[in-house]
Every structure is written in C-alpha cells, then in structure tokens.
Structure 1
Amino acid sequence: MSEEFEIEFKNKLSAKDYYRLLNYYKAEEGDFFIQENHYFDSTLWELKKMHAGLRIRVLDDTAELTLKTPLNKHLLETTDYLSIIESEDLLLKDQIYFTGHVARKLRELNINPKDMHLIGSLKTKRFEKQTSVGLIVLDQSFYGEQTDFELEFEVHEAQTGEIAFDTFLKKHQLKKNRSENKIVRMINNSLKNKAE
C-alpha cells in the first residue's frame, strides 16, 4: 500500500502541440508505454459527487487499485498493488476488493466498497521525461470514439511547481488550457453518447 500526496498541473494540448513536444524531447517508439484505466463508482455516483476517483490501472506486468480523494487543492492517492491476474479477476467480476487500504478509505468516506462497479475505461499512450523541476508527462488518451492529448507536470511542491509549469508553457508557446481529470473526461463523453 502507498498513500501519497499528488501535486500535478494539467494542460490540454492540440495534436499539433503534442507532437511538437514529443519532437522536442526526441521521443522514440520505445519511450512510450500503454496504461489502461478502469474506473469505478456507485450507481449513485458517490465518488463523482465528492470529486474523487477510483480506478484499476493495468500496465504491462503490474496493476494497482487507486482511490484519489481531494486534499486541499490537490489529491491524496491511496493505492493497493495488484497482480495482473488479480486485476483481470476484479474486472471480470465488476468489483474491487472489499478489504485493503482502498476499501478502508472508502468506508472512512461512508462508501461501501461492495457498491463500486465499473463505469468505463480509458487507454493512454504515455511518454515521461524527468526534469530537474518535475516529471513531464505527455498523454494521448482513447475513450469511446474520443482521442485527446494532454500535458501533465508532476511536482513535489505546489508553489514552485506552478511557477515551473507556467514557465514551461511560456517557453513552448502553449496557451494555458486546464485539463479535466481523465475520469471526468471519460464520464462526460460516456454520458454525452448516451444522451445522443
């Protein structure tokens, strides 16, 4: 289990700006990795209402169950690590574990882990570059018929991180265009498709 404070700044990117940044970092095909996020909530959207998110993230050879809850202006991440087999089993059963650190945190929020069910999935092709001021992340995400691009900047300290992020945007002539969390984008797209 891990519990950590997540400080990140996000910015929507056009496809043109996304590929321009990849070119700047001389990204090659072997520099990318794929991650699948499978999101959970109750039928009453209890997590959505509190601006929290719950996901099973699957990578090539590992997986994790993570609950993100608001803390000040950022997020607290509570994670239980899973094997690939465990993640496949949970997704097949449309549930999360009823024990563990994530389940305990949900109960602290007065949410029953047994009420969680899969609400949608999103696949991301990710490029990461560690810099002296933080981790630069360039994501291309796919959900439904939608594809989008975003820049994430993960830092350890909010104030200096925000200054560094703004400096990065200016340096690369990027317009500030705040990006919603992936789960929000996936849910909004799903609800829009159901309404059409």
Structure 2
Amino acid sequence: MSEELEIEFKNKLSTKEYHRLLEYFKVQENDFFTQENHYFDSNLWELKEMQAGLRIRVLKDSAELTLKTPFNHYLLETTDCLSLTEAKQLLLENKIDSTGQVGKKLRELAIEPMTVHLIGSLITKRFEVKIPTGLIVLDQSFYGEQIDFELEFEVQEDQAGKINFNKFLKKHNLKRVPSENKIIRMIKESQKSN
C-alpha cells in the first residue's frame, strides 16, 4: 500500500503536437507501454460527486487498485498492489478488493466498497521520460469512439512545477489547453453513447 500526493499538470495535445513531441524525444515503438484503466463508482455516483476516482490499472506484469481523493488542491492517491490474476478476477466479478487500504479509505468516506461497480474502461499507450524538472508523460488514450492525446508533467512541488511546465509549453510552442482527468473524459464519452 502506498499513499502519495499527485502533483501534475495536464495539457490536451492535437495529433500534430503529440507527434512533434514524440519526434523531439526520439521515441521508438518499444519505448511505449500500455495500461488499461477500469473505473468504478456506485450507482449514486458518490465518488464522482466528491471529485474522487477509483480504478483498477492493469499493466503488462502487474496491477493496482487506486483511489484518488481531493486533498489541498491536489489528489491523494491510495494504492493497493494486485497481481494480474487478482485484477482479472475482480474485473470478471465486477468488484474491487475491499480488504486493503483502498477499502478502508472508502469506508472513511462513507462508501461501502461492495456497492461500487465498473462504470467504464480506458486504454492508454504511454511514453514517459524523466527530465531534470520532473516527469514528462505523453499519452494516447482510447475510450468509446474517442482517441485523444495528452501531455502530463508530474512534479514534487507545485509552484516550481507550474513555472517549469509553462516553460516547457513555451519552448515547444504548445497552447495551454487544460485537460480533464481521464475518468471524467471516459464518463462523458460513455454518457454520449447511452
């Protein structure tokens, strides 16, 4: 189990901007990895109402259950590690593991873990590169009929991070277009198709 503050800046990218950044970082096909995000909420959308998010993330060799909750203008991530077998079984049963720290945190929020169910999924093809000022993440995400591109900049400290993020945008001639969280984009897309 881990708990950490997520301090990141996000920006929508056009297809052209995304490919320009891939070219700048000389990204090869084997530099990418894929992650599946499977999102959960209750029938009453309790997590959405409190601007929180709950997901099982499946990677090539591992998986994790993460709850993101608002905390002082940031998101606090509470994560339980899962094996691939556990994650696949939970997804098959349309539930989460209620025994770990995520389950405990949900109960603290007055949400019974057994009431949450899968609300949708999103697949991301991701490239990450560490630079001196933080972690640059380039995402291509697939959900519903949508494909979108996004830049994320993960940092340890907010003010310096904001300055460095703006410098990065300026250096690469990128217009500031804030991006919504993936879960919000996925929910909007699924509600369009319903």
- Give the TM-score normalised by the residue count of structure 2: 0.99
What are the within-5 Å matches in structure 2 for residues 170-181 of structure 1?
A: 170-181=170-181
How many Å separate the matches in 1 of 2:112 and 2:70? 18
Counterpart check, 1:116 vs 2:119: no
Partner of 2:130: 130
CA positional deviation for 1:32: 0.2
Deviations 1:123-154 (A, max 9, x none): 00000010000000000000011000000000
Partner of 1:16: 16
CA positional deviation for 1:99: 1.1
How many Å separate the matches in 1 of 2:155 and 2:6? 8
CA positional deviation for 1:192: 1.1
- Tell me the amino acid that sits aligned with residue 25 of structure 2: Y
Question: 1:36 is paired with a residue of what secondary structure?
Answer: strand
Question: 2:188 is paired with a residue of what secondary structure?
Answer: helix
Deviations 1:72-111 (A, max 9, x none): 1110000000000000000000000121100000001000
Partner of 1:184: 184
Partner of 2:98: 98
Question: 2:35 is paired with a residue of what secondary structure?
Answer: strand
Question: 1:173 is paired with a residue of what secondary structure?
Answer: coil
Question: 1:161 is paired with a residue of what secondary structure?
Answer: helix
Partner of 1:60: 60
- Give the TM-score normalised by the residue count of structure 1: 0.98
Question: 2:7 is paired with a residue of what secondary structure?
Answer: strand
Partner of 1:71: 71
User: Which consecutive residues of structure 1, in runs of 5 or more, have no partner in the other structure?
Assistant: none
How many Å separate the matches in 1 of 2:130 and 2:71? 25
Aligned residues, how many?
Answer: 194
How many Å separate the matches in 2 of 1:165 and 1:174? 11
How many Å separate the matches in 1 of 2:47 and 2:83? 25
How many Å separate the matches in 2 of 1:74 and 1:166? 18
How many Å separate the matches in 1 of 2:192 and 2:70? 25
- Tell me the amino acid that sits aligned with residue 168 of structure 1: F
How many Å separate the matches in 2 of 1:80 and 1:30? 28
Q: Structure 1 vs Structure 2: percent identity of aligned residues?
A: 69
User: Which consecutive residues of structure 2, in runs of 5 or more, have no partner in the other structure?
Assistant: none
Partner of 1:49: 49
Partner of 2:168: 168
